Amino acid sequence: MENNMAPHTFVAYVEDKPGVLNRVASLFRRRTFNIESLTVGHTDQAGVSRMTIVVDTDDLGARRVEANLYKLVNVLRVDDVTAQPTVERDLALIKVAARNGKRAEIMQLVDVYRARIVDVTNDSLVVEITGTEDKIESMVDILRPFGIIEMVRTGVVSMTRGAMAPSANPPLVAAMIPEAALN
Amino acid sequence: MKLTGAKIIWECLVREGVEIVFGYPGGTILPAYDAMLDYPIHHVLVRHEQGGTHMADAYARASGRVGVMFATSGPGATNTVTGLATAMMDSSPVLCITGQVAGSLVGLDAFQETDVTGVTLPVTKHNYLVTRPQDIARTIREALYIARTGRPGPVLVDITKDAQQKDAEFDWDAAAPSLPGYRPDLHALPEEYEKALHLIRSAKRPVILMGRGVLQAGAMRTVQEFAEKTNTPVAMTLLGIGGLPANHPLNLGMMGMHGEAWVNHAIQQADLLLAFGMRFDDRVTGNVKTYAPRAQKIHIDIDPSEINKIVKVDVALVGDLCDVLQELAPRVQAADHSEWLAHIDEMKGDSAVRDIQNLPDTGHLYAAHVIHDLWRATKGEALICTDVGQHQMWTAQYYKQDRPFNFITSGGLGTMGFGLPAAIGAKLARPNAEVWSISGDGGFQMTLAELATAAQEGVKVNAAIINNGYLGMVRQWQEFFYDKRYAATPMLSPDFVKIAEAYGLKGIRVTQRSEVHDAIREAQETAGTVVIDFRVEKEDSVYPMVPAGADLHNMIRRPIPPKEGDYLVPQNVLVESGVDVEWDISVK
């Protein structure tokens, strides 16, 4: 992996069985791919979980990630959605200090970001924000001068736009063919 | 019908055609061992679970069937790890069944508890933890299916003791594999075939790289026909040896770190590489940046994750090698390439005079002589198993294999101690084959306890020890790259003849070349397993050699003999070109 490193986003459907998360995480560790974020949750289908995995790698590395994920017996389907139009969301809870009459100022900023206040005490607020990673990072930067006491983020979840749903038979082999064939 | 979990294990194995299992009993696998007595199973009691796993591995490689290994929990299971990793790297179908502590104790650090599915996760193709008897049948069937299909590999099934003891309804048909995420049968796209055909048509200097995938797919004949039709020379990986007869005019021999100079030069000068079931291991490519710089590359492999892993290729045909070649071969045009073949022949001439086989026999015992003589005495028809190291490379160079599945060696993992147990496993798979293990004095000591297994089973193998009093390959690296500072490589060995005798077997010592032939004959004519201790030249080295990380064409060549009659082991190595290259010496 060389110069053109960039975040690649994969959506993986996996069997909901014990140890599957470990298998996926172990794969990334073993092949020395660095996970930027990994989220996992149920889908509308019983027995199937959905992972959104963001990996910093180049294009060839992304193909290898995809191929190696497919090699895991419990992985049902993998989509590299990096180049597709997607809705990407991250959720953060930010506990911020709100002393000395700063509360109103913070609430104004929260409003600008269309975030929400979900907890209030005499000297703190908990802000809930959903959005792209950029938006959340921007909010964090704005709140930092007030004093961030604690923060938690879910990591990115991602879904392609439009009516297209993942088909039952993915174009697996096409995805395995190097794009730069025959220069 | 209601059966205990233990009986279900054997019901499934017997129905799947398993006749021989290797294993070592213990507390948590006892229910399975007890039930075994009621089934037509030949159990081979090994002396160490590593050896047992190697036996199952070699049984698989020699027969094409899945090799089965049983072990108990904890240390029994962890002892299989080296064997599983060996099988994983060389894509060998092994099923390892381990006992686990009772479900109620799992996770509580019980006696002889290890998280075996966790430990073996990276060294198995897939693994299972089974805690309920009703899950055993499906799991065993799935495990066997996964092990032998697609790119084969080892699968481990860890079964708790109580799951073996409890009853469950056994329904063979209902337990058919259900693996929605497993895709062993991939196919390449039509346009990729077009690209491949275009490259093949326009190639002037093509080379086929033949790997173990050719043997796994049973595509030996198909590849040979392809090579003959297009007059394309074939270079072999270590594990590809036997895929094309060594005496075939298009067979160049082994490529890579200890490949002959003309093979590596042919690859470096090629304008098209056809990689058939091989994975561009670093021992094959040398420096990837300067690897086959003028060549377009077509990669045919069943495992899509191998595509562009090490070497970026121009066309990838993912799928079963037989299927792909059946599609490809009828559409390629016959080609001549006589100029290219003549050029390679010319390069051969130079190398051949340096070959130790062409040197006068001065009575010194060289490993190359031993292996050459063994090849002649066995008419090249023996099934040979090796460890890793100098003897392995000399075997690859001098035991000319004309048949597939007759050379079993630990290629990817490079496991010392593989050879002897592998020979035992291979002999049980192919009782009519003449089986030899070739090991170094170091590796042989790692698993020589399996001599007892051979004795108890009455298995007839012949174990050749290439005994040079050193960990030879490491010593060679120290000689070449560490200023002859022999750190921890001089090695004391026991009297291997007495060792053999202690196991009730015959041992023979050979110190002169003149004794080699008779010793081999005697071993062949003896009913039981025989150990031959070949005391060879101590500081001999394997040539040619591409230093790790160096360019494939920058080989340390065989020294040129001074004069007929007074050949001595040379003190200085000769570097053909690139003397000033800074070698990246990264010891494995």
Helix spans in B430-515 (H): 441-447, 450-457, 472-481, 496-502
Check residue B381 and report its DSSP letter.
Answer: -
Secondary structure of chain A in HEC code, one letter for each residue: CCCCCEEEEEEEEEECCCCHHHHHHHHHHHCCCCEEEEEEEECCCCCEEEEEEEEEECHHHHHHHHHHHHHCCCEEEEEECCCCCEEEEEEEEEEEECCCCCHHHHHHHHHHCCCEEEEECCCEEEEEEEECHHHHHHHHHHHHHHCEEEEEECCCEEEECCCCCCCCCCCHHHHHCCCCCCC
For chain B, how far is it from start to end, CA to CA, in angstroms? Answer: 53
Residue whose entry in the numeric block shows the structure tokens 């003589």: B373
Using DSSP bridges, classify how beta strands A48-57 and A35-42 pair: parallel, antiparallel or unpaired: antiparallel
Residue A167 — pLDDT band, cuts 50, 70, 90? very low
Q: Predicted confidence band at A129 (pLDDT cuts at 50, 70, 90)?
A: very high
Cross-chain Cβ contact B183/A172 below 8 Å:
yes
Task: Report d(CA B438, CA B416) in Å as an integer.
Answer: 11
Same domain membership, residue A76 and residue A17 = yes
Which parts of chain B register pLDDT below 70?
Answer: 350, 352-353, 560-588
pLDDT tens digits, one per residue of B411-466: 999 999 999 999 999 999 999 999 999 999 999 999 999 999 999 999 999 999 99
CATH number for position A148: 3.30.70.1150
Residue with structure tokens 């190696």?
A: A68
Distance from CA of B258 to the nearest CA of A (A): 27
B145: closest chain A residue by CA: A73
Torsion of Cα atoms, B34 then B40 then B45 then B51, to 10°? -120
**Mean pLDDT, chain A, integer:** 86
A165 touches B: beta carbon within 8 Å: no
Q: Is B583 helix (H, G, I), strand (E, B) or coil?
A: coil
Neighbours of B226 (CB within 10 A): 20
Give bridge partners of residue A148 from the DSSP assignment. Answer: A96
**What confidence tens digit (pLDDT) does each residue in B295-332 have?**
999 999 999 999 999 999 999 999 999 999 999 999 99
Query: With contact defined as beta carbons under 8 Å apart, do B253 and B260 qualify?
Result: yes
Burial A36-69 (b: 16+ CB within 10 A, else e): ebbbbeeeeeeeebbbbbbbebebbbbbbbbbbb
Report the candidate in B23, B32, B41, B166 with the shortest Cα–Cα distance to residue B95.
B23
Q: Hey, what amino acid is at B533?
A: D
Residues A11 and A79 in one domain: yes
pLDDT surpasses 80 at A163: no
**CB neighbour burial string for B137-176, b if at least 16 within 10 angstroms, e if fewer:** bbbbbbbbbbbbbbbbbbbbbbbbbbbbbbebebeeeebe
Domain end, chosen from A83, A99, A120, is at: A83
Q: pLDDT value at position B352?
A: 67
Regarding whether A70 and A97 lie in a shared domain, the answer is: no
The answer for residues whose C-beta is within 8 angstroms of residue B353's C-beta and 6 or more apart is B560
Q: Are residues A93 and A136 in the same domain?
A: yes
Closest alpha carbon within chain B to A13: B181
* Inside any domain, residue A180: no
Give the DSSP letter string of B170-195. --TGGG----TT--------HHHHHH
Of the residues A83, A117, A132, the one at which a domain ends: A83
The β-bridge partners of B530 are: B462, B506
- Domain boundary (A63, A83, A103) is at A83
As for how many domains chain A has, the answer is 2
Chain A and chain B share a number of CB contacts under 8 A equal to 80
Residue B70: its H or E element: strand B67-71
State how far the Cα of B321 lies from the Cα of B317, in Å rounded to an integer: 9
Considering the domain architecture, whether residues A11 and A76 belong to the same structural domain is answered as: yes
In-domain check, residue A92: yes
| Residue A178 domain-assigned (yes or no) | no
| A93 lies in the same domain as A73 | no
Catalytic, B49? Answer yes
Choose from B146, B155, B192, B280 for mutation: most chain A CBs within 10 A.
B192
Fold exhibited by the domain B2-175: Rossmann fold (3.40.50)
Contact criterion met (CB < 8 Å) for A64 and B315: no
Rounded Cα distance, B544 and B456, in Å: 41
Asked whether residue A98 falls in the same domain as residue A72, the answer is no
**Residues of B with Cβ-Cβ distance to A173 under 8 angstroms:** 186-189, 304, 318
Same fold for the pair B2-175 and B355-535: yes
Read off the pTM. 0.92
Ranked by mean pLDDT, the top range of A36-45, A80-89, B192-201 is: B192-201
Taking the Cβ of residue A71 and every Cβ of chain B, the question of whether any pair is shorter than 8 Å is answered with yes
Amino acid at B495: D
Residue A108 contacts B where some CB pair is shorter than 8 Å = no
Q: Is B357 a catalytic site residue?
A: no
Verify that A13 and A76 share a domain, yes or no.
yes
Are A34 and A91 part of one and the same domain? Answer: no
The CATH number of the domain covering residues in B190-350: 3.40.50.1220
Interval B44-74: pLDDT, tens: 999 999 999 999 999 999 999 999 999 999 9
Q: Is A168 inside any structural domain?
A: no
For chain B, which residues make up each domain, given as ranges?
2-175, 190-350, 355-535
Q: Looking at the complex, does the CB of residue A183 fall below 8 Å from at least one CB of chain B?
A: yes
Nearest to B377 by CA among B536, B519, B531, B527: B519
**In this structure, what token pair is assigned to residue B404?**
């597939």
Domain with A108 in it? 87-157
pLDDT of residue A165: 55
A95 and A69 within one domain: no
3-state helix, strand, coil in chain B (%, to 5): 40, 15, 40
Clarify whether residues A65 and A98 are in a common domain. Answer: no
- Superfamily of structural domain B355-535: Thiamin diphosphate (ThDP)-binding fold, Pyr/PP domains (3.40.50.970)
Are A17 and A52 members of one domain?
Answer: yes
Kindly list the distances between the CA atom of residue B433 and the CA atoms of B63, B255, B334, B378, B453, in Å, as whole numbers in the listed order.
11, 27, 37, 11, 19
